[in-house]
A and B are shown apart, each in its own frame.
Chain A
Amino acid sequence: MEKKSISVKILIYTFLSVFAILNIFPIFWMIVDSFKSEPEYAAKPFALPTVLHFSNYEKAWEVANMSTYFLNSLIITFASLIVTVILGALASYFLSRFQFRLRGVTYGAFLLGMLVPIHATLIPIFLIMRHIHLLDTRWSLILPYTAFHLSLTIFILEGFMRGFPKDMEESGVMDGAGIFRIFWSIILPITRPAIATVVILNFIYNWNEYLFALVLITSSELKTLPLGLANFTGVETASLTLQMAALTIALVPIIIFYLMLQKQLVNGMTAGSVKG
C-alpha cells in the first residue's frame, strides 16, 4: 500500500513536470535566443548564448516601433476598460436593484452577446466605422471592445450586486440621496471585488485583441501591440533574434501583470464559469 502510493506520487509529479516544461519551454527558449547574435543563433539554435547580446533589445525596440504600439495598446485598453466598467456597472445596478417591465428582456439581450461570434459582425462594423469616418482611429477599436465586453461585465456585476440584501440602500434613502448618489456611494464601493475581476478580464481581452485591430486599423502609428508584432514578424523574417527580442519585450509586462494578479484573475474566471 505504502509503496503503491509513493509510485503513484512519482507518476503524478512526472506528469505535471512534463506538462509544466511543455508550457514554459517555448517561452523560455524564446527569451534565451533573444540574447544571441544572429550567426550564433543560426549555427547553434539549441546552445545557450555565449555572450548576452542586449543590443537585440535596443534594436528591436527601435525597429519594431515598440514604444508606439505600447502607447496605443495602453490608451485603447484603458479607454475601453473605463467605459465598459462604468457603463456596465451602471446598467448592472439598474438591472439588479430595480423591477421594471423590460428588465428580463434587457438582461437577456446583454447576455446574448456572449454567444455572438465577433466574426459575424466584423464586416458591418468595418463598413459602419468607415461610414461614420471612425475607421483607422482609436475609437474604431474602443467602441467594439466596449460593446462586446459589456456582456461579461454585466453578467458578473449583476450577479454580484443582486446578492446584496434588499435594505442595502435604505440608509441612503433616509438621508435623501438620489438613485445615482446611492449607486456611487453605496453600491459601487461594496461591488469592488467583482469590479476588480471585471477590470482584469477586460484588460487581458483588450490588450490581446487582434482581429478587430487587423481590420479596423491601417496606420502604423495607431497599431496596437498584437497587430504591430504580427506585422513586424511577418516582415522582419530575416532576423529571428530580433523577433524574439521584440516578443520578449511585449511578453514581460503581461507576465508581470499575471503573476501579480494571478489569484484574483483565477478567482474571477472561476466565478464566471461556475455561475454559467
Chain B
Amino acid sequence: MHTLKGTRFAIFIGLLPALIIYLGVAILPIGLSVYYSFSRWDGITDMTFTGLHNYQQILKDHIFWLSVKNNVIIMLTGLVGQIPLGLLLALLLNRKMKGVNFFRTVGFLPVVISSVMVSIIWGMVYNTEYGMLNGFLGLIGLDSWKHNWLGTPGLSMFALGAAYIWQNCGLYMVIFLAALQNIPAEVNEAAELDGATGLRRVMRITIPMLKTTLMVAVVYSISNSFRVFDLIQIMTGGGPAHASEVMTIYMYNNAFVNMRFGYGSAAAVLILIFSLIVVGIVNWIGRDKKD
C-alpha cells in the first residue's frame, strides 16, 4: 500500500484534532477536578492547598448526605419505574398490531424534548393554583388530595420521580425493542411448538434472552441517575429546604453560587467515585449470575 512512513504521518494527522479536543476538554478536566479538590479556592485569589479537608467537610455535611439519599431515590425510581415500564411497553409493542407505530412514536417523544422543557411543563402540571394535577383532582371531587406538590418536603421527591420516569421510560422502551427485534423468529417458533405461549414464553424464553440488554439498561440507568440535574434545578432548585437536592445540585451550588471551587470539585469527584462504584458493583453482580 503506502510507504509506512507516509501512513504513520497520515494517521497522526487524522487523529490529532479529535484527540486534542477530546483530551483537552473532556479528559484533562477530570484530572484538574481531582487537583482542585485538594484546595481552598474562590477561583480568583491564590489557591491554598488543604489536602483532604474538603472531603472531610463534605462527608460531615448532613446536606450532602441528604443529597446522596435523594440520588438513591432517583436511582431506584429509574430501576423500579423506567426499566420495568420500558420493558413492558417493548414487549407489548413488539408485534404487528394496529397503532403500534403511533404508540412507539408517542412513547419516545419525551426523550427528544429538552429536559428544560420537560421540567417547565411538569412544573406547570404541579403548579398549586393552576396546575393540571390539582385541577384534575378538583374535577373528580378529590379536593382533599390537592397538594403543593413541589413545595412540600415529603412530596417533592415523588413529584420529581414521576417526571423523571415520564421523561426517560421511552428510551428504555426503544432499547428493549431493538433487543427484541434481534431475537431470531425461530426461537419463538420453537418455544411455541413446545407449548410455551403468552406469559410463560415471555418469562422463560424472552426475558432470559434479554439478559445482556437488561444489564446494559441497568448500568445506563444508574449512571444516568447520578447525572440528574436539569429536571431538579429547574423544578425545585433542590428545595424546599434541600429536600430534593441531589449531588450535582450540591456541587453546582457550592462551586458556582458560593464560588467555592475547591469544595465543589471535591463534590464532583465524589459524584464520579460514587457512580463508578455503583456501576462496578452492578457489573460484578451481573457477571456473577451469568456463570
Q: B178 to A269, Cβ gap below 8 A?
A: yes
Q: B271 in the interface, Cβ–Cβ < 8 Å? A: yes
Q: A93 in the interface, Cβ–Cβ < 8 Å? A: yes
In the complex, chain B residues 260-275 whose Cβ is within 8 Å of any chain A Cβ? 261, 264-265, 268-269, 271-272, 275
Give the docked Cα–Cα distance between A24 and B108 (Å): 11
**Chain B interface residue number, banded:** 35 or more
Known contacts A87-B18, A254-B113; A120 and B120 CB within 8 A of each other: no
Q: A120 to B234, Cβ gap below 8 A?
A: no
Identify which of B4-12, B50-58, B148-156, B188-196 touches chain A.
Answer: B4-12
Could you say which of B11, B26, B121, B181 contacts A121, with CB atoms under 8 Å apart? Answer: B26
Could you say which of B21, B121, B213, B229 contacts A26, with CB atoms under 8 Å apart? Answer: B121
Q: B49 in the interface, Cβ–Cβ < 8 Å? A: no
Known contacts A147-B25, A226-B117; A127 and B272 CB within 8 A of each other: no
What string of 1s and 0s marks CB contacts (under 8 Å) between B24-38 and chain A?
Answer: 111111101100100
How many Å from the CB of A142 to the closest CB on chain B?
Answer: 10
- Which A residues are CB-close (under 8 A) to B7? 98, 179
Q: B206 in the interface, Cβ–Cβ < 8 Å? A: no
- Which A residues are CB-close (under 8 A) to B117? 226, 229, 247, 250-251
Q: A19 in the interface, Cβ–Cβ < 8 Å? A: yes
Give the docked Cα–Cα distance between A259 and B116 (Å): 20
Q: A266 in the interface, Cβ–Cβ < 8 Å? A: yes
Give the docked Cα–Cα distance between A183 and B15 (Å): 13
Main SS at interface, chain B: helix
In the complex, chain A residues 136-185 whose Cβ is within 8 Å of any chain B Cβ? 143-144, 146-148, 150-151, 154, 173, 178-180, 183
- Which B residues are CB-close (under 8 A) to A234? 234
Q: B174 to A121, Cβ gap below 8 A?
A: no
What string of 1s and 0s marks CB contacts (under 8 Å) between A228-253 and chain B?
Answer: 01100110000010011001001100
- Which A residues are CB-close (under 8 A) to B230? 210-211, 226
Give the docked Cα–Cα distance between A151 and B22 (Å): 9
Q: B17 in the interface, Cβ–Cβ < 8 Å? A: yes
- Which B residues are CB-close (under 8 A) to A265? 108, 112
- Which A residues are CB-close (under 8 A) to B282? none
Known contacts A119-B251, A147-B24; A100 and B174 CB within 8 A of each other: no
Could you say which of A16, A117, A229, A254 contacts B103, with CB atoms under 8 Å apart? Answer: A16
Give the docked Cα–Cα distance between A26 and B163 (Å): 11
Q: B21 to A143, Cβ gap below 8 A?
A: yes
Known contacts A23-B107, A148-B26; A94 and B268 CB within 8 A of each other: no
How many Å from the CB of B166 to the closest CB on chain A?
Answer: 7
What string of 1s and 0s marks CB contacts (under 8 Å) between A253-276 and chain B?
Answer: 011011100100110011101101
How many Å from the CB of A165 to the closest CB on chain B?
Answer: 15
Q: A12 in the interface, Cβ–Cβ < 8 Å? A: yes
Q: A123 to B265, Cβ gap below 8 A?
A: yes
- Which B residues are CB-close (under 8 A) to A250? 117
Give the docked Cα–Cα distance between A152 and B248 (Å): 23
Q: A124 to B29, Cβ gap below 8 A?
A: yes
A-B contact count (CB 8 A): 263
In the complex, chain B residues 82-105 whose Cβ is within 8 Å of any chain A Cβ? 89, 92-93, 99, 102-105
Q: A87 to B21, Cβ gap below 8 A?
A: yes
Known contacts A124-B33, A233-B120; A204 and B112 CB within 8 A of each other: yes
Q: B182 to A274, Cβ gap below 8 A?
A: yes
Known contacts A94-B11, A121-B26; A150 and B21 CB within 8 A of each other: yes
What string of 1s and 0s marks CB contacts (under 8 Å) between A93-109 and chain B?
Answer: 11100101000001001
Give the docked Cα–Cα distance between A117 and B227 (Å): 6
Q: B216 to A273, Cβ gap below 8 A?
A: yes
Q: A71 in the interface, Cβ–Cβ < 8 Å? A: no
Residue of A nearest to B231 (CB): A210
Known contacts A42-B130, A274-B182; A90 and B29 CB within 8 A of each other: no
Residue of A nearest to B139 (CB): A46
Known contacts A122-B255, A226-B116; A88 and B130 CB within 8 A of each other: no
Q: B73 in the interface, Cβ–Cβ < 8 Å? A: no
Given A87-B17, A94-B10, A124-B265, 9 new contacts (CB under 8 A)? A46-B136, A124-B30, A127-B36, A128-B32, A147-B25, A173-B2, A180-B14, A215-B256, A258-B109
B binding-site residues for A, Cβ under 8 Å: 1-2, 6-8, 10-11, 14-15, 17-19, 21-30, 32-33, 36, 43, 89, 92-93, 99, 102-110, 112-117, 119-125, 127, 130-132, 135-136, 139, 166, 170-171, 174-175, 177-179, 181-182, 213, 216, 223, 226-227, 229-230, 233-234, 248, 251-252, 255-256, 261, 264-265, 268-269, 271-272, 275-276, 279
| Cross-chain pairs A/B with CB under 8 angstroms, 18 sampled | A16-B89, A19-B103, A20-B106, A22-B166, A24-B109, A83-B21, A109-B23, A119-B268, A123-B255, A124-B28, A128-B29, A150-B21, A151-B22, A227-B116, A230-B120, A247-B120, A266-B104, A270-B175
